[in-house]
Amino acid sequence: MRHIFHNLGKIKRSLEGKYLFLFLDCDGTLTPIVNTPNKVIISQKTRRLLDLLSRKKNCGIAIISGRSLDDIKKRVGLNNIIYSGNHGFQIEGPKIKHELAVPLGYKKVLQCIKAQLKEKLCGVKGVFVEDKKLSLALHFRLADKRQLTFIKTVFHESIILYLVKNKIKIRPGKKILEVIPPVHWDKGRIVLWLLARQVFALKKKNILPIYIGDDVTDEDAFKALKNKGLTVFVGETGNSKADYYLKDTKEVTKFLRLIMDLKSN
């Protein structure tokens, strides 16, 4: 993987004269990862940049997040942006509103699992269950390390029957375990879907997708955009499929500023 800023000449040339469709992960990409995800805020500087970019004629922005749709919309708080919340199960933005169809009975299963998790883990500090309507997240970032085995065992016991019957899927993340619909829908598919939609809506062929993300789930998008766009992993190391990397969220802001300057000239 190459660092973006060490390959600026090439990158600038590839952006020239293109409509840029920016796909941005939120946590760990636009904001640093913190121990209390509900306190995460996007800096004024980054928000202002996103706002300006979203108003550019030759630029579109989609925020791709695992957070619930309402949460991510509130946190970013800009109108001219497409929000893909809840792992893309819900997508909303200018002239777009889409909710993934889930199998019959799925929502009921989710409620059963939620009840079980809440009951068995109510005494464990630093754990909470988040109901995102089409998915369920068990957060344990603040839990005592010695409790992790217990927490994971409870999760496993609560979901295993549904999992073997293909009633649900699970998704592990950073200090989080999630129950999601048993459908094939990942960040790669979301990005290609949104991209195809944009190509159709704008009747443009010279659209360059740029995807920036730090998560394992972002790898699906990196794979989907191979040879189609610019993919950027956020972080120091890792076996990412992305073409380039940026070290941290500060560098992401710097790169957004660079795109802004390019589009202003």
215 sits near Mg ion (criterion: CB under 5 A): yes
CA 221 to chain centre: 10
Q: Contact letters (x/-) for Mg ion, 141-180, by CB under 5 A?
A: ----------------------------------------
Neighbours of 141 (CB within 10 A): 15
The nearest distance, CB 249 to Mg ion, in angstroms, is 10
Nearer to Mg ion, 27 or 186 (CB): 27
* DSSP code of residue 147: G
Nearer to Mg ion, 139 or 167 (CB): 139
Neighbours of 36 (CB within 10 A): 9
The nearest distance, CB 230 to Mg ion, in angstroms, is 18
Instruction: Give CA–CA dist 133/243, Å, rounded.
Output: 34
The nearest distance, CB 57 to Mg ion, in angstroms, is 29
Residue with tokens 């946590």, as numbered in its chain: 27
Instruction: Give CA–CA dist 123/126, Å, rounded.
Output: 10
Nearer to Mg ion, 28 or 88 (CB): 28
The nearest distance, CB 103 to Mg ion, in angstroms, is 27
Question: Which residues are CB-contacts of 123 (< 8 A; sequence separation ≥ 6)?
Answer: none
Instruction: Give CA–CA dist 233/161, Å, rounded.
Output: 36
Nearer to Mg ion, 150 or 185 (CB): 185
71 sits near Mg ion (criterion: CB under 5 A): no
Q: How far is CA 59 from CA 201, 226, 264, in A?
A: 14, 20, 11
Nearer to Mg ion, 30 or 113 (CB): 30
Nearer to Mg ion, 71 or 214 (CB): 214
Q: Contact letters (x/-) for Mg ion, 15-44, by CB under 5 A?
A: ----------x-xx----------------
214 sits near Mg ion (criterion: CB under 5 A): yes
Using CB under 5 A as the binding criterion, the count of chain residues that bind Mg ion stands at: 5
The nearest distance, CB 201 to Mg ion, in angstroms, is 27
The nearest distance, CB 27 to Mg ion, in angstroms, is 4
Query: Which parts of the chain are beta strand (E)?
Result: 2-3, 19-25, 59-64, 82-85, 90-93, 96-99, 128-131, 136-139, 169-173, 176-180, 207-213, 230-234, 244-246
Nearest residue relative to Mg ion (C-beta): 28
The nearest distance, CB 245 to Mg ion, in angstroms, is 14
Q: Which residues bind Mg ion (CB under 5 A)?
A: 25, 27-28, 214-215
